[in-house]
Structure 1
């Protein structure tokens, strides 16, 4: 039976960020993921400027810039009736920008940097937490050599929207209004707007949206997301909804050739729209999507996930110094998440719930925003 200081479950952006931060502080970190890297992950691939800022703050500016990812500096919002707002995105610290980066590349970069910082990577499928007398003491996992138990002083769960750890510690699932489903595909031979992301507030999928995120001069990540309760109230699949969107006249004009979609994938999103959700337990913390931290308006989870990872790393460092892994000690992580993330997520939830449901209101707001661009900063705060 192996004994470690910290086990991080999941090597996506949140898990790898936590592993980097803790390894840089000299801690013993075991980073576990069921897959090897690089690996694909269904996502819109949009990386807000805040993501780049955190990557830079981790000391990875040179590595990130050398990767030459596709930068984004403009945004377009299209209302249900076709009114258009276009604007510039802000530039962050050290000249950082937003990007469109395939998760195949971005996640592999962070995972490799976690190993470089000193974390040990182990490929295995975590099946359950080890819980004794109400406290988490590690994880059970299925590896190449079979079933094993890995004991740890602290477990950081960053194993995504279907988190095994989260389900075990918090089995009650929030209602569908706090969840969404999304579909992503890649398309070549599409007329893209260079270095500009596009959001389409299409009537058929409100309070969700469709998107086109360019990856180069002719290729884009294209997809849509829809709140789960609304999705279940209608009869179409996500694939059919995307087909309907692509069949709209303004979209047909932009598709060259056969417009074939490839690497089509769907996924679930867990919104951070519940203030009282528990994310700290005796011996464990929930990070990123496992902690229900996706923005309820944009559907973006990478920035919040990485921010939660940095906050979790701070709390973990303090807990290790004091030798205290009780929920009382780890509750500082929940307080930090509330302070850093809840104000924006609450605003996002209110807009998603009460503004995106009315097409006429969206039309009016986008028409008005063309002369008052500060209004769109609410929607674009996470871009």
Structure 2
């Protein structure tokens, strides 16, 4: 059973159904539904979709080609999006109402059972299975499964029921996004398909983004740590409106903001135990969110693909399942530890005006610094000693 029909849960259901297993896809919401998010899909998502023969889910979408970063004291970076290999970085912006529905329908087409509209309320162990209680229409039901993949989001019921606790305030961000109509970022518009980040002195300790989909719509948002929000008594909606106004003063055409929604971001500053007895945590429920960019989709989808693909042919067999879940947890921590730690450090540094200004200037002056920054935001990059030296050298 998979709890949560977002990208991580739907990916897990797709892989499980294609392996010939019976899988129920449970979600408290009915689809399509909106999900507060930046709507960004990095190159890792596009690559995994192709691996799953689902590249057509991005048909008709145009990848972002450029990046603009605003920093303190007028620091500004404008560059084409390229990775370490010099190839274009394939980043897309697709509203979650659309992308999640496409991926969920792919899971149902693969054979997953649709249990949308069922809210997970608890879990426990039986002799050779795990039960999950769900509620629909005021009635409680119990489902039995050989394995439960807990992908039920930032407010995960299963995370708490499995004893992993709630994400702490010191490791949680909060973001607000809204939409704005704009033609400025269309392929033939004055800005083209450009993603925007802002770490200006006026906005810090928050950061802002503008992610356009190239079809007359832009996702505009701001994010900040929960502790900073409370310490400074910030009004997040006012911060977002101020950021949008600053974009307009720069000549970026944005219509009025609408569809405001806020959401918590359990950041990968502290990842809980992932492997449990007949259960595994993935996605936002497992705090798989980049502390620098707020990106979480690629980590959740890759985790889903790896954990379900690594299960034994008989997924209910206790010893083999436990071994596979343990191997998955070791793989995830080994693969992402340096990258996520570097992202955490970079997030802290970019909150310091002096460092943010020098980082942006160095990225302008040194293509190696720029490529490393892009890899940190959109790939598996990490902070390197040589890059730090380049920032100090070229950031003046």
Using structure 2 for the length normalisation, give the TM-score.
0.86
- Partner of 1:375, secondary structure, is helix
Is the contact between residue 154 and residue 325 of structure 1 (CA under 8 Å) also seen in structure 2?
no
- Aligned equivalents of 2:307 and 2:215: distance in 1? 39
Is the contact between residue 134 and residue 282 of structure 1 (CA under 8 Å) also seen in structure 2?
no
- Partner of 2:50, secondary structure, is helix
Partner of 2:15: 21
- Aligned equivalents of 2:363 and 2:250: distance in 1? 26
- Aligned equivalents of 2:88 and 2:356: distance in 1? 32
- Aligned equivalents of 1:253 and 1:184: distance in 2? 20
Is the contact between residue 16 and residue 114 of structure 1 (CA under 8 Å) also seen in structure 2?
yes
* Aligned pair partner of 1:350 in 345, 349, 372: 345
* Aligned pair partner of 1:268 in 244, 264, 268: 264
How far 1:146 sits from its partner (Å)?
A: 2.3
Deviating 4+ runs (over 4 angstroms): 133-136, 325-329
- Partner of 1:324, secondary structure, is helix
How far 1:327 sits from its partner (Å)?
A: 4.9
| 1:270-317 residue CA offsets vs partner (Å, 9 max, x unmatched) | 111225x21111110001000111001111000111111112213434
Pick the structure with more strand per residue: 1
Partner of 1:230: 228
How far 1:370 sits from its partner (Å)?
A: 0.8
- Aligned equivalents of 1:375 and 1:72: distance in 2? 20
- Aligned equivalents of 2:129 and 2:207: distance in 1? 39
Partner of 2:154: 161
Listed as ranges, the matches of 1:292-303 within 5 Å are 292-303=287-298
Partner of 2:196: 198
- Aligned equivalents of 2:296 and 2:218: distance in 1? 20
Using structure 1 for the length normalisation, give the TM-score.
0.89
Decide which moves more: 219-228 or 329-338: 329-338
How far 1:338 sits from its partner (Å)?
A: 0.7
Decide which moves more: 286-295 or 205-214: 205-214
| 1:230-288 residue CA offsets vs partner (Å, 9 max, x unmatched) | 1111122110111222333x53353658x31111100000111225x211111100010
How far 1:222 sits from its partner (Å)?
A: 0.5
Is the contact between residue 67 and residue 80 of structure 2 (CA under 8 Å) also seen in structure 1?
yes
Partner of 1:90: 82
Is the contact between residue 199 and residue 209 of structure 1 (CA under 8 Å) also seen in structure 2?
yes
Unaligned runs of 5+ in 2: 186-190, 379-396
